[in-house]
Amino acid sequence: MANDKTNFQLVANGILAENPIFKLALSMCPAVGISTTVMNGVMLGIAVLFVQVFSSVTISLFKNVIHPRIRIPTYTLTIATWVTVIDLTLAAALPEAYAKMGIFVKIIVAFAIITMRLEMFACKEPVQASFWDGLGMGLGFLVGMVVIGFVRELLGSGAILGYDVLGFKPLLFFILPSAGFFVVGLMMAFFNYIEIAYKRSKGQK
Amino acid sequence: MKDIFTIIFRLTLSCVLAGTVMGTTFVLTNKAKKHNEHVKEERVAFSLLGFKGEVPESVTMETAYRYVLSRGGDQFIGYLMPRQESKEGGYRFLQLDLDGNLAEKYRVDITAEQAAGAKERDQSISAVLPQGVEMRFAEQFKIVFRDGVRSAYLISGKFPGFKTHIAVMMALDSDFSIIGFEVLEHEEDPGLGGEIEKPYFKNQFKGKSFEVVQDLEVVKSPIPEDYLKALEVDIPPEAVKKVMQQHRGDDIYALTGATISTVAVTEGLKGMIKKFAYRVNVLDSVIDNQQIAVSF
């Protein structure tokens, strides 16, 4: 499956057409469990972005050497290595950020989106394309997490980024994981609706 | 058949490569990470005691170290305490038996910097101990002196939380009431158990006396409005003081959706204070009875 998109199209693809959370429905665990505030979403999104880009590039570099039968353990190994490297580097270089992000970074190993992207794209496509695709997917994940976090934080604790906006807590229910399912489901529907409406308006032109 | 060997070989190679990358990163970053942790602990210690920037002249801090010793079948507790007479430092190592009586007393002539390094400290202590005594480092705690009088303690502890462990540093007054505590490490869920780091939770423990803490429970009700405002310091300082005084005897109000984390922290702190107060009292009586000249 040769890739014929430009670099910009690859990035846009990751954010819109094949958004990991809303379209591909992958990595729902963090989307549901951790997106309780916008800041959490941002932190995790950035961490996933880094791991995705590095893993995509690494696998793409070694794609001719990986034996097809053991590609899954190899992906897991690559992702685990990069997560460890990023964890250690953050702890040493940016202790302030690490104090907030540290918990999230360790969870990334289990995300489906990264393994899936390596399988679908990185192991077949050249390095440059893999880099932009990884970037797009990471950004799509980040955008998704921020949007979900925004809704949940606003409706659950009446705040945005920790600043009390509403002055009261409308529905504490939104912070609990069960609400995450609701919010993600509704946002998926909303996302799809916007896409259909956009295509329709484009088709009519 | 040939495939298996290729697979094994390539997989081993990948593991070795991954291991090398991770190991190199670890070696490169470990020193910086330890330094960051050390700086953070110092900062936390100062802020807990209420010092915003410079430590005032009248305040000094000494570090004491506790060891567990065993000789044959007997167990002892050893304390490395700073000596009082000489201004250049030097330590005394007090060996107490499990009944709280002084068994042995040794002089350990090292400086505070040397005592801070775990290996050097262990080596200098084993040098003075007789043969056949095994020792294991247990913990260290800081004693804060104001004008030469004991004014506060700083202790660290680790206890099981909802997920893994929670590591805290706590400042206690000389009568073992809580001055405050900080969460150093935890892996609780962000937004739920992670709220133990927030002021509206931590400040609930502030100022609680030793007696109150011994019977402290967790209660599943919402925090009263005025108390919440005082905890988050949303009102002027005099009002904060008054409200905190009113609620001093209150139990801890559980975090929404994180009762287990709340209970873990409450029980953990309770245990830490109980054990520490007991040990300090034993140590105090030994020092008094034997008239040992240590800074304590």
Would the CB atoms of B256 and A172 count as touching at under 8 Å?
Answer: yes
- Per 3-state DSSP, what percentage of chain B is helix, strand, and coil (rounded to 5)? 45, 30, 25
Q: Is B143 or A160 the better-scoring residue by pLDDT?
A: B143
- SS3 assignment, position B4: helix
Task: Burial-class residue B71 by CB neighbours within 10 Å (0-12, 13-18, 19+).
Answer: middle
Averaged pLDDT, B176-202:
87
A161 reaches B (C-beta below 8 A)? no
**pLDDT digits over B84-116, tens only?**
765 666 888 888 888 888 888 888 888 877 777
Would the CB atoms of A92 and B6 count as touching at under 8 Å?
Answer: no
Beta-carbon-side half-sphere exposure of residue B188 (alpha carbons within 13 Å): 29
Q: Compute chain B's Rg from CA coordinates.
A: 23
Residue A2 placed within a domain = no
Q: What is the pTM of this model?
A: 0.68
Of the partner residues A34, A65, A176, the one whose CB lies closest to the CB of residue B257: A176
Would the CB atoms of A67 and B15 count as touching at under 8 Å?
Answer: no
Check whether A1 has a pLDDT greater than 50: no
Which of A35, A78, A103 is best to mutate for the B interface (most B CBs within 10 A)? A103
Task: Name the DSSP class of B68.
Answer: E
Neighbours of B181 (CB within 10 A): 25
pLDDT of residue B103: 85
> Which residue on chain B is closest to A175 by alpha carbon?
B191
Q: Which residues of A touch B194 (CB under 8 A)?
A: 103
Check whether A155 has a pLDDT greater than 70: yes
**pLDDT digits over B55-68, tens only?**
778 888 888 889 99
Would the CB atoms of A81 and B18 count as touching at under 8 Å?
Answer: yes
Averaged pLDDT, B30-43:
82
Would the CB atoms of B191 and A175 count as touching at under 8 Å?
Answer: yes
Averaged pLDDT, A91-97:
80
Check whether B1 has a pLDDT greater than 90: no
A194 reaches B (C-beta below 8 A)? no
Tokens for A92, please give them. 């040493």
Residue count of chain B: 296
In chain A, % of residues over pLDDT 70: 97
φ/ψ of residue B232, rounded to 5: -90, 10
Q: Which residues of B touch A172 (CB under 8 A)?
A: 256
A61 reaches B (C-beta below 8 A)? no
Residue A194 placed within a domain = yes
The least confident of A75-89, A170-184, B19-33, B145-159 is: A170-184
Would the CB atoms of A95 and B257 count as touching at under 8 Å?
Answer: no
pLDDT of residue A2: 56
Distance CA A33, CA A10 (A): 28
Q: How many CB pairs under 8 A join A and B?
A: 69
Q: Which residues of A touch B166 (CB under 8 A)?
A: none
Among residues B295, B291, B285, which one has the least CA distance to residue B101? B285
How distant is the Cα of B102 from the closest Cα of chain A, in angstroms? 43
How distant is the Cα of A122 from the closest Cα of chain B, in angstroms? 17
B171 near B50, Cβ under 8 Å? no
> Which residue on chain B is closest to A153 by alpha carbon?
B191
Q: Which residues of A touch B43 (CB under 8 A)?
A: none
Q: Write down all domains in chain B, each with its CATH number in brackets.
A: 59-139 (no CATH), 151-279 (3.90.1010)
Would the CB atoms of A85 and B25 count as touching at under 8 Å?
Answer: yes
pLDDT of residue A83: 92
pLDDT of residue B277: 92
Of the partner residues A33, A67, A92, the one whose CB lies closest to the CB of residue B33: A92
Of the partner residues A37, A81, A93, the one whose CB lies closest to the CB of residue B22: A81
Would the CB atoms of B190 and A89 count as touching at under 8 Å?
Answer: no
Of the partner residues A37, A74, A175, the one whose CB lies closest to the CB of residue B14: A74
Identify the domain containing residue A75 by its residue range. Answer: 7-204
How distant is the Cα of A42 from the closest Cα of chain B, in angstroms? 13
Among residues B185, B27, B210, which one has the least CA distance to residue A98? B185
**pLDDT digits over A35-84, tens only?**
778 888 888 888 899 999 999 999 999 888 888 888 888 899 999 999 99
Would the CB atoms of A77 and B30 count as touching at under 8 Å?
Answer: no
| Domains contained in chain A, number | 1
Averaged pLDDT, A166-186:
80
Residues 187 through 226 of chain B touching chain A, CB cutoff 8 Å? 187, 189-192, 194
Residues A132, A136, A142, A143, Cα dihedral to 10° = 140
Task: Name the DSSP class of B182.
Answer: E
Residue position matching structure tokens 């800041």: A39
How distant is the Cα of A111 from the closest Cα of chain B, in angstroms? 17
Cβ neighbors of A152 (< 8 A, separation 6 or more) are A35, A36, A37, A174, A175, A179, A180, A183
Check whether B48 has a pLDDT greater than 80: yes
Check whether B263 has a pLDDT greater than 90: yes
pLDDT of residue A94: 80
Check whether A146 has a pLDDT greater than 70: yes
Averaged pLDDT, B204-223:
90
Which of B6, B9, B11 is best to mutate for the A interface (most A CBs within 10 A)? B11
Please, what is the average pLDDT of chain A? 84
- DSSP, residue by residue, B230-254: HHTT-S-HHHHHHHHHHTTTPPEEP
- Measured between its terminal Cα atoms, the distance across chain B in Å is 73
B3 reaches A (C-beta below 8 A)? yes
Q: Which residues of B touch A66 (CB under 8 A)?
A: 10
Distance CA A140, CA A144 (A): 6
Q: Which amino acid is at B64?
A: A
